[in-house]
Structures are given as structure tokens and as C-alpha cells.
Amino acid sequence: MPRIAGTDIPDNKHIRISLRYVYGIGPKHSDDILQEVGIEGHVRARELTDDQLAQITAVITAKFVVEGALRRQIQQNIGRLRDIRSYRGDRHRRGLPVRGQRTQTNARTRKGRKKTVAGKKGVKGMK
């Protein structure tokens, strides 16, 4: 398996797809990198020479923040929001959706599994 920017990429896929396995590289950045280096996107990753892999790695390290540095940067941004006690930081702290989504229904990904609360029992004679 070839390694690019510290990540193993699948060698049996097209290089434009394989580059997306690097955290921080999406479809557009993948195509931009390949265009700059001058490699066709439909070439399989295993067919690339060591020189071409080195060129791709050089472009990624020069122009993009990827992998561990990007994860660290995102965590620092979230920590800053928490420290300044902003609304978004408070939502991160509570584990609720940050970008204005509804929470009365849905939001299970952020909130976790349902926590069932005992409901109010009906009292006889009251309507």
C-alpha cells in the first residue's frame, strides 16, 4: 500500500478516490492536487511511480493541513469556543447539536441513546 502524508491509501482504487482516504482531502482537493502534479485521475494508485507519489506528498504538505495537525487544529478551535463561553462552545460542552438543528425530535447522534424518564401517571377522577 502506498503511503501519502502519513496515511496508507488503497492501491487498487483510482488515485482520485484513494487520495480521499487522507483526512482533510476531499473530492475537490484531490482533483486539484492531481491536476497540479499532472496525473490522470483514473490511474490506479499501485501504478504510480515513487517519484509521482513523492510529488503528490510534496504538494499536500506544502498546501494543505491534513491528518493529525488538522485534527489538533479543530480540537483547539472547539476548546477556544468553550473557553470564551460562546453559545457554540456551550453546545459542544453539553453534547448537543451546534449548528441550529432541532432537538425536540431527532438529534440522536449528538445526544446519544434515549434516556427514558418515568411519565406522569394518570390520576383517577381528574380530566
- The sign of the dihedral angle between the CA atoms of 100, 105, 106, 111 is positive
Rounded to whole angstroms, the Cα distance separating 54 from 127 reads: 76
Q: What is the pLDDT of residue 8?
A: 85
pLDDT at 40 over 70: yes
**Structure-model confidence comparison of residues 2 and 67, the more confident one:** 67
Q: What is the pLDDT of residue 3?
A: 82
User: How high does pLDDT run on average in the chain?
Assistant: 90
Q: What is the pLDDT of residue 60?
A: 93
Q: What is the pLDDT of residue 126?
A: 61
Average pLDDT over residues 1-27: 89
> For 67-110, what is each residue's pLDDT tens digit?
899 999 999 999 999 999 999 999 999 999 999 999 988 899 99
Domains of the chain (ranges; CATH) run: 3-64 (1.10.8.50), 68-105 (4.10.910.10)
pLDDT category, 5, cuts 50, 70, 90? confident
> For 15-30, what is each residue's pLDDT tens digit?
999 999 999 999 999 9
Burial class (CB in 10 A: 0-12, 13-18, 19+), 12: exposed
Report phi then psi at 78, rounded to 5. -65, -40
DSSP at 14 = B
Average pLDDT over residues 31-44: 93
pLDDT category, 125, cuts 50, 70, 90? low
| DSSP symbols for 51-108 | HHHHHHHHHHHHH---HHHHHHHHHHHHHHHHHTT-HHHHHHHHT--SSS---SS--H
